[in-house]
Amino acid sequence: MKKLALALFVIVASSCSAAIDCLTDSKPEWERKTLSDGMRFQPYEQTVELYSDNMVTIREFDVDGNLPDGLMANFDGSTARISGTPKELGNFQLKLVVKVVSEDSDGNAGCERTISKTYKLRIN
């Protein structure tokens, strides 16, 4: 009976190792910062970093919310870049969203997560 219980535990534990890894590894985080104000019809550029203690692969990048006309957001490596020449005044709220997959030291895919953070931007 003890051997059966031990065998069952090993099977369950091995099938749950990916789930356990997802619970124990640290998830990436967007940089905590305040976006600097911009001026209408003046070039604007601001970057926001995605920090991670683990190796991750970026699967998707998106911006939810609204950027003023004339600004766009791009993602390269672990940096989101908001740039352009804003053509409208106002207060804007945007959410940077990435879908990441963590990898182990052998490059095997692990947990898939969606990481997001909302930022405020004012154009004067």
pLDDT of residue 120: 97
Write the burial class of residue 121 (CB in 10 Å: 0-12 exposed, 13-18 middle, 19+ buried): buried
pLDDT by 10s per residue, the chain, length 124: 555 444 444 444 444 444 545 655 678 899 999 999 999 999 999 999 999 887 788 889 999 998 999 999 999 989 999 999 999 999 999 999 999 988 766 767 778 899 999 999 999 9
Token pair listed for 30: 């967007």
Residue 5's contacts (CB-CB under 8 Å, 6 or more residues apart) are none
Domains and CATH numbers, the chain: 27-123 (2.60.40.10)
